[in-house]
Amino acid sequence: MRLAVVHRDRCHSKKCGKECIIYCPRVRTGDETVIINDDDKAEISEELCVGCGICIKKCPFGAIDIITLPVELDCPTHRYGKNGFALYGLPIPVEGKVSGILGANGIGKSTSVAILSGQLRPNLGEEEEDADTWDRILRQYAGTELFDYIKAVAEKGVKVAVKPQYIDGIPKFFKGKVEDLLRKTDETGRLDHYIQELGLSGLLSKNIDTLSGGELQRVAFTACLSREADFYFLDEITPFLDIYQRMATARLIRELAAIRPIMIVEHDLAILDLLADTVHIAYGKPAVFGIITRPKGVRVGINQYLEGYLHEENVRFRDHQVVFETRSHVKTVDRERLLKIPSMRKSYPGFTLSIEGGEIRKGEVLGVVGANGIGKSTFAKLLAGAEEPDAGSGAIQKTLKVSYKPQYIKAGSDATVEELLRSVTKRFDTSYYEHEILEPLVLEPILQSPADTLSGGELQRLAIALCLSQDADLYILDEPSAHLDVEQRMKVVRMMKHFAEGK
């Protein structure tokens, strides 16, 4: 089976020479294998395409992917229109257990959650919506473990509580105080228990739009668990939470899992190993197609994902293993001092940060760890000059150039990724920049995408690139791993090590 995908956000037919049409051998023989539709986007006929791959290489924006799939995958669970992303398979919710979904970003995990929660009706790859759509879906799943669940979803007999992946959209839909929001969601009578366990007492009087990312994450998690539901779906629970808060959320999930089935999508392998009873691997090619495996034992599933080889399916979906390297820190290296940090104080209503001082040396990667709300981001802002210390408490030297990536990122521009990167660096067209920045952060496919259309993971990678692209003496990155999958995190770690050693 052949799958042709046109990434609509990368297809710019008015900016190119329509190479996909000009060089297609079937078009040259007179067939309409590739056309430009009414939206000025390329459209490929999968029935006529011979899979030569010429259009893939000729497209100047990398907007085309053509994949040959096994014949067993002839019917997708859901496809986003003609030449769109295709998902095969679904995870299986199990009573009294926590099921995990592990896979790269853009592989269909959130789509699976949307289908199982009733937010999205699977179309089985069909473009037209028929009146008997649910009948076709039920016939497709007849005799499978998912049949009863899909039938309940079709009959709206399943009440579902969902914690969304991107929590920064919550203030757009709810205005008011935290307590008002949480009291509206309390259908189980356990809200006070969740507030105490997650340390939300001090936030109840705050407005939703004033919360930090970690605070908003805990509020969203509490609101989800406080609802009375048959199934709970949690999409990325760990971003912006410290280790103490992650352990608290894990305990609450295990409590609820004793009486209700829970499904989580999570990139933190330690939390997934702690929480899940079974795990589904999601593999394929991001933004092209995704395949959800049958449930595996959690440790077996995690190890196979890291290995890149699924033993039961006899499928290798990655040509290398994800290896967590051990690094010996050489204490005898005498590095030149870059910055002396003076003793400082920074006060806010109800909070004061005291800094004893220290130093930062050239060529080192310095980590700052601690609980949320303890002052790490404030410390980073003081170093970056985004905040000024209290008068008379010391000051950072102003001779250093500092590049700063904040903790919470917002796309405030409709400029393309390439335009933003070119605005901060003159090295964009060099081979060094391509291999050291663009390739590790996988930014080339989205260079022509407007920044305000990017997902959370794409926006995070862009923010890291913008920070490291600037000519600076000190680079400060606040939570660079949020919304990144396992492979992306490893690439970012290696890139930052090479970057620091090269500076």
Q: Looking at 125-179, which runs of residues are DSSP E strands?
A: 160-163
Which two tokens mark 373?
Answer: 């709300």
Q: Output b/e per residue, 306-340; b: 16+ Cβ within 10 A.
A: bebbbeeeeeebeeeeeeeeeeeeeeeeeeeeebe
- pLDDT, tens digit, for every residue of 104-143? 888 888 888 889 888 888 988 887 655 457 888 888 889 8
Contact 43, 82 (CB under 8 A): yes
The confidence score (pLDDT) of residue 131 equals 43
The confidence score (pLDDT) of residue 9 equals 84
Asked whether this chain's domains 87-316 and 337-502 adopt the same fold, the reply is: yes
Q: CATH second-level architecture of 87-316?
A: 3-Layer(aba) Sandwich (3.40)
More confident call, 182 vs 130 = 182
Mean predicted lDDT score pLDDT of the chain: 87
- Region 315-339: mean pLDDT is 75
User: pLDDT > 90: what percent of the chain?
Assistant: 33
Q: What are the sequence ranges of the domains in the chain?
A: 2-68, 87-316, 337-502
Comparing CA positions, the residue from 287, 473, 302 lying closest to residue 397 is: 473
- Region 411-415: mean pLDDT is 77
The CATH classification of domain 2-68, taken from the options 3.40.630.30, 3.30.420.40, 3.40.50.920, 3.30.70.20: 3.30.70.20
The confidence score (pLDDT) of residue 72 equals 65
User: pLDDT > 70: what percent of the chain?
Assistant: 94
Q: Indicate whether 84 pLDDT > 60.
A: yes
Neighbours of 437 (CB within 10 A): 23
Q: What is the separation of C-alpha 245 from the centre of its chain, rounded to a whole number of angstroms?
A: 20
The confidence score (pLDDT) of residue 75 equals 84
Give, for 289, the enclosing helix (H) or strand (E).
strand 289-292
Yes or no: is domain 337-502 CATH 2.60.40.790? Answer: no
Comparing CA positions, the residue from 304, 248, 257, 289 lying closest to residue 276 is: 257
Which of 13-22, 272-281, 447-456 has the least mean pLDDT?
A: 447-456
Q: Is this prediction's pTM over 0.95? A: no
Gap between the Cα atoms of 110 and 428, Å rounded: 33
